[in-house]
Structure 1
Amino acid sequence: MSFASRRDASQSSSVRPRRADLLNRTFTNARLVISGDCRDLRLPSGASDSLKGRPAIQRSLILMRISRLLLLSVLAAAVAGVVIPSAGALTFPDEICPVAQGTVIKVCPAGETAKPYSMQIKGREGTGCVPYVRFKSVGALPPGLTLSSDGLISGTPTQPGEWTFWIDMQDIPSWEGGIFWCGDDKSTERQFSITINPGINIVQNALNPKVTFLNKPYPGFQLSASGASSAQTWSVKSGALPPGMTVGSNGVVSGTPTAAGDFTFVIQVSDGGRSDSETYTLTVVEELKITQAKPPAAEVGQPFAMEPKATGGRPALSWSIEGGGSLPAGLTLDPTTGAISGKPTLAGSYPLKLAVQDQLGLVQTVDITVVVATKLSAVKSALPVVKIGKLYKARLTARGGATPLKWRILGGLPGLLPTGIKLNAKTGEFSGVATGKTGLYRLRMQVTDKLGVKASLPIVLKVVA
């Protein structure tokens, strides 16, 4: 059995390993090349170099031990049916990216811009340590493409043109995690070329609008494609648009949807030899509307409650105040229900923009004004004298309160108006021609507003002849 050495690029010739390390590494990295007499043994260069300079007796003992160990491994492999492969020079196969005629450049399949690209580069079986090899590129691949260490060229090209570059393929030796019989890190490289052609690409990746309303005409949306010739044909490749809607051969999406729901479909454009497709989703719902939002009467210190209503859209709904307005002090808005409640503390007029939004992002607004009145009070003032037989008019006064107001007589002495004089409960006005007796009529009057708030005051009507 003869021995030959193969230089191990990962080991420095200046390092002298211990004998135990040498035996271990030699047994692990030694490679049997099965030749005619099955006796050719090659040792890693680190092991061969380490034997140099040793006494002849020591070298003989080490080689004898190595021979015994390798003989045992060969016999064990033979019994177990293990075949330790033989390898030729590392090279690329012809069938992957064939060489262009008249050149040495391997030409890979062409790609298109904006279309995913994938090409697996491999080493030729039976050469080097294939498939235990790694790859790297030297030079620029088409923009958008990359080469992985396992030889996969992939990505999405972004620019048309022709790119020529080198690919380096290298054995992965056993000491770097390769197969146990791979005892070198030799490499080879070849020049490759990939052409990227301009692709036809649909510009829009979503419809606008992507939500439309049941039984309402869709505003229409024009699809377009870049890189296409003027002779474009648009069609539905798969799925279905909402009932009542179509995509024309000119790429216009239009119609009046007659069913609600989410509709997903694929639209394709073709200019003859090339095509592109895009997936779209169109949602059809009933139109979102605010149906009830009239504020009730409000008064300082009195409970206030308002709950607007909305229909359509896609629940759940959320409510808010937009446009920079603010609620009266003391009132709050529930964003889930839209309810406005509380006790206002400051009178005034508050214009607001009330907004509701659904889960699809649809928004509807309505302008409202919350008017907060001051607290109701009755104003005490002297009334003019009533003259028998003469037309009489006088009015009671109230401040604040939520209109309408209502007046009534609570009592007094004698507790009745003079004969011929009447009270207008809505206006608080006394009117008529007195026909009764002269005298003083002491009464207690009460005013009540729309919210039930009450105020009272005493009055005196003096009747004279």
Structure 2
Amino acid sequence: MNLHPPTWKRLAALTGAVVLAMGACTFAPDLSRFAACDSTGGCPSGTACLTSENRCLPTCGEAAACGSPDPVEDLDAGSDMDAGPEQDAGIEDAGVTDAGEVDAGPSALSLESSLLTQAIESVPYSAKLQARGGTPPYTFNATGQLPPGLALDTEGNLTGTPTRPGDLLLPVEVLDQSIPTKRASGSLTLRVRPLLRVAGPEPLADAPNNRAYAERISATGGKAPYTFALAPEQSLPTGLALAANGTLTGTTTQAGKKDFTVVVTDSDTPPQSAAAQLSITLTAASGTVTVISRAVPWGRVGADYSYNLRTTGGSNAFTWSLKDGALPPGILLDTKEGVLYGKPMSPGDFTFKIGVVDLLFSDEKPYTLHVD
């Protein structure tokens, strides 16, 4: 069944009007919601087939008195829906957060505990304390008594002359410029190495003319074992030689007194070296027992000590004894071998006299043993 002429005319007129009103725009109503015409062009009651679209549209008559708005007018959705301001999607500025450097504020303040250089006993020392974190510049203070001979200023300069070896504790604190002020404190460790010395004896034992000679040069402080050598351009009496362990041996006929310089080097890292001038005197051989040791080596508190007193002549069946004075605390005398040995317990200069006797003769000598 075809649309009635009035309905068709109204639809055509309205469609034309819409086309004219939109100008360049094209109006294409969506008729898909209406049923399709059957194969003969028929439609259900109350509708008519729009053959150009093959859809069944309501028939409203000339007056268009339908129960719902005019179907054609219903197709006009009116003006474009105003979706509000156009969404400015653009390019989403997610990017990477531009945080720059994170300002977490000053880091924790602490003392640097491992940067102090080693010191040497009795040698002037200078170092600068270090800190990290916080807000420089720093201010340093001692929080307790510093070891003898050392001083600390507010800039962290540690100066002075350590008077004893060992690991010395430095009670200190550091303050920074933060608001509020940060503070860190603790005990830093300063390693002080024992001062290396050539201990002598000075003078060495006399060298009997054309007799086998043996003497031992000693050292104190530093770190054993020690290595001994003559200083450059130095020489011993003809016929004598110095071994690396400090033993002086040989036979000489050179007359008079001979001075020479010996250098000792220890085994520490870095090593210490020390030099001293020693002397030896040639003497005539004697047929009676004679003590030829003119001096004894220096000692050091707590360090092993050993020195063999030397003689010439006699029967070699000797007995040694302390004749006068007192040995340093910790030092003993071997009365058969004439060896002073032990570990000195107290510093100071100790004066005593030691005698030797064989079957027929005797001799004695005074000595001073200096203990550091």
Instruction: Answer yes or no: same fold by TM over 0.5.
Output: no
* TM-score, structure 2 normalization: 0.35
* TM-score, structure 1 normalization: 0.29
Which has the larger strand fraction?
1
